[in-house]
Structure 1
């Protein structure tokens, strides 16, 4: 299947998933519901990128999934960018300083909130890195950068994943924790599932190498 068709399939699925998530939160303000939906689907897409590698190591018959990784990563970045634009345009009205301050109705002033500021700073770094990965996620970049440099850049997806986990963790559990959000459970499940597959992939790789060394010694 061509990369263009993969982008169309993933794009349609992304928008459909976002729509369904919004419908599950009809008690939320539409702006906030769409904002969170795009962020949730972006995280899900990145989770798939992280989990494909270990799955293919354990089940080589599924190696065709690897060809979907680049498109999944691009759409994860697109959704994260939409999430950011909604915040910038619909919430802070392009006053970037408000990403680090919380308005207090009692004092009627904006005050710096360390946790809120740090979480948003991490989010900004993640989006910028997303943009870098998206811009270079093409054959022309491979040619210009060279295979070694391009592979090094793209291999840092785990760093991006960690940044997004920290950003999401704060807004799910620490920023207004009294607000209901059914994503809290699935968020933990995604983290656990990804790390279980990564551990399984690591163990499988070691066992496979040991078997090869064992067979080599027999001869």
Structure 2
């Protein structure tokens, strides 16, 4: 029988994800539907990864938060599910299944060949593809069966890849928030309102990790300090 707590965690993260996607979608009413869905789902995926990243250091700084540590698994799983949907929208809605366009090439009718037009677009999308592959590995091994099959030590090593996934996601998102629409040969749209919240989110995760590391270091120092009379 499936435990109630397991079902409850999945339903809770699904509800958070649905609310977040709806919020991001309706906050950009002047965008085309494809880009609204694309960005809202991608932004919520990043937010779920950030929440998963924050729970670990938060539990070391504030002991009562240990009770929600179990949600890290579901947060990671649905972050990857949303990232997969985000990538699917890009493939079908933006580059229209032309994989050359995915890496910054466009077909030039006069030259009758593909030419590179968007170097940054290629880099950001390749980073996104690597992040998605990494995320799929993490999501597929986020279960008790994988712990038993891989052994706890190997499983923990694989799951530490969450840090890699986080920074790949930050690079991918940061490019599209700050750099992609700065090309000189096309109009620059109004700044995306999510730019500063994104910066705050990244800094908040960094601050939590730094604070937790400092707190752990202080505890270790106290335990290892010589006893004085």
Give the TM-score of the pair, scaled to structure 2: 0.89
| Preserved contact between residue 124 and residue 171 of structure 2 (Cα < 8 Å) | yes
Is residue 48 of structure 1 aligned with residue 79 of structure 2?
A: no
Could you tell me which residue of structure 2 aligns to residue 84 of structure 1? 87
The root-mean-square deviation of aligned C-alpha atoms, in Å, is 2.0
2:68 to 49, 65, 69: 65
Distance in 1 (CA, whole Å) between partners of 2:97 and 2:108 is 21
Distance in 1 (CA, whole Å) between partners of 2:17 and 2:132 is 18
SS in 2 for 1:176: helix
SS in 1 for 2:180: coil
1:82-161 aligned within 5 A: 82-103=85-106, 110-112=114-116, 113-161=118-166
Could you tell me which residue of structure 2 aligns to residue 198 of structure 1? 209
Higher mean displacement: 169-178 or 67-76: 169-178
**Structure with the larger helix share:** 1
What is the Cα deviation at residue 114 of structure 1? 2.0
Change (3 A) 1:107 1:193: farther
1:186 to 192, 197, 207: 197
Q: Post-superposition, which runs of at least 4 consecutive aligned residues in structure 1 deviate over 4 A?
A: 102-110
| Preserved contact between residue 138 and residue 161 of structure 2 (Cα < 8 Å) | no
Deviations 1:13-60 (A, max 9, x none): 201211111111010001100100011011111011111111111111
Distance in 1 (CA, whole Å) between partners of 2:196 and 2:100 is 32
Is residue 7 of structure 1 aligned with residue 10 of structure 2?
A: yes
Distance in 1 (CA, whole Å) between partners of 2:79 and 2:96 is 24
Change (3 A) 1:173 1:105: farther
Is residue 211 of structure 1 aligned with residue 211 of structure 2?
A: no
Could you tell me which runs of 5 or more consecutive residues in structure 1 were left unpaired when the two chains were aligned: none
Could you tell me which residue of structure 1 aligns to residue 34 of structure 2? 31
Change (3 A) 1:102 1:24: farther
Could you tell me which runs of 5 or more consecutive residues in structure 2 were left unpaired when the two chains were aligned: 183-187
Distance in 2 (CA, whole Å) between partners of 1:104 and 1:175 is 20
| Preserved contact between residue 101 and residue 110 of structure 1 (Cα < 8 Å) | no
Give the TM-score of the pair, scaled to structure 1: 0.93
SS in 1 for 2:69: helix
Distance in 1 (CA, whole Å) between partners of 2:15 and 2:56 is 24
Number of corresponding residues: 218
